């Protein structure tokens, strides 16, 4: 899952990025509204954390421009402001949730998990596909009730496919959502990691749909 953090306080930005990265997300960051708007307008994100009090272009304006352009990624707004009108302005601009500063990082992580989960149509933090179970809260994977050890990239790959279980996910989409904007988009590493993940899972749930992409499904639809 790929997250964008737009926060002008460099220390807080770094703290949020570090926490998200440690939780298994790929994270891009921006320190002002103009850069944040550009990234959100040109790169695919599974969620955005957006401060309202940004230099150059304020957060509400950034969000309004994204929504007018048809950008639908879920957005959590950060604000140090206590006035209810600022929160209302954020929601009216298209925000999905908000956190008031100061906050506990675990709350931000929980809200990100919830938004990503709900956007993909899941009601709980545990995702299942046949004998495979993935706990998004604890970043744990079980196969037939036994814990499975995965690398960070393998976990991100499995988590994305399971969030979109039953749907065919193209290689391009996986590259866009599993790596930051500096990654070599022509690399064939996705195929390599899919092969490794399939071998580690040891069960027939990760299918290759020839010419289209990959699909997590209990039914054998590999082509």
Q: Which three-class secondary structure string do you get for 83-145? A: CHHHHHHHHHHCCCEEEECCCCHHHHHHHHHHHHHHHCCCCCCEEEECCEEEECCCCEEEECC
**101, burial (CB in 10 Å: exposed 0-12, middle 13-18, buried 19+):** middle
What are the beta bridge partners of residue 129?
132
Query: C-alpha angle with apex 150: 147 to 152, nearest 5 degrees?
Result: 135
Angstrom distance (rounded) from CA 55 to CA 168: 40
Same fold, 2-119 and 126-216: no
Token pair 């990025």 is found at: 17
pLDDT, one tens digit per residue, over 10-63 is 999 999 999 999 998 999 999 999 999 999 999 999 999 999 999 999 999 999
Full-model pTM: 0.82
Distance CA 223, CA 207 (A): 8
Three-class SS of residue 214? Answer: strand
- Pick the closest to residue 74 from 26, 113, 127 (CA basis): 113
CATH topology of domain 2-119: Rossmann fold (3.40.50)
- Structure-token match 């899941």, residue found: 122
Give all strands of the β-sheet with 2-6 in edge-to-edge order.
Answer: 26-30, 2-6, 47-51, 75-79, 97-100
**Across residues 152-176, what is the average pLDDT?**
92
Confidence of residue 220 (pLDDT cuts 50, 70, 90): low
| pLDDT above 90 coverage of the chain, percent | 70
Query: What pLDDT score was predicted for residue 169?
Result: 94
pLDDT at 157: 93
| pLDDT computed for residue 189 by the predictor | 81
Domain boundaries, the chain: 2-119, 126-216
Domain 126-216 adopts which CATH fold?
Arc Repressor Mutant, subunit A (1.10.10)
């Amino acid at each position: 899952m790929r997250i964008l953090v737009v926060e002008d306080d460099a220390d807080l930005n770094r703290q949020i990025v570090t926490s998200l990265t440690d939780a298994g997300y790929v994270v891009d960051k921006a320190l002002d509204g103009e850069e944040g708007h550009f990234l959100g307008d040109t790169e695919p994100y599974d969620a955005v954390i957006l401060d309202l009090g940004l230099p150059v272009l304020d957060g509400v304006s950034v969000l309004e421009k994204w929504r007018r352009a048809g950008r639908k990624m879920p957005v959590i707004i950060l604000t140090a402001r206590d006035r209810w009108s600022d929160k209302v302005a954020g929601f009216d601009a298209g925000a999905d949730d908000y956190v008031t500063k100061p906050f506990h990082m675990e709350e931000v992580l929980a809200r990100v998990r919830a938004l990503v989960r709900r956007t993909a149509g899941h009601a709980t933090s545990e995702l299942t596909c046949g004998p495979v179970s993935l706990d998004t809260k604890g970043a744990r994977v079980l196969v037939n009730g036994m814990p499975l050890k995965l690398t960070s990239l393998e976990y991100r790959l499995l988590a994305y496919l399971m969030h979109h279980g039953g749907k065919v996910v193209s290689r391009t989409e996986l590259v866009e959502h599993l790596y930051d904007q500096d990654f070599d988009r022509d690399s064939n590493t996705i195929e390599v990691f899919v092969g490794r993940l399939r071998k580690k899972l040891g069960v027939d749930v990760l299918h290759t749909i020839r010419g289209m992409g990959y699909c997590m499904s209990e039914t054998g639809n590999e082509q």
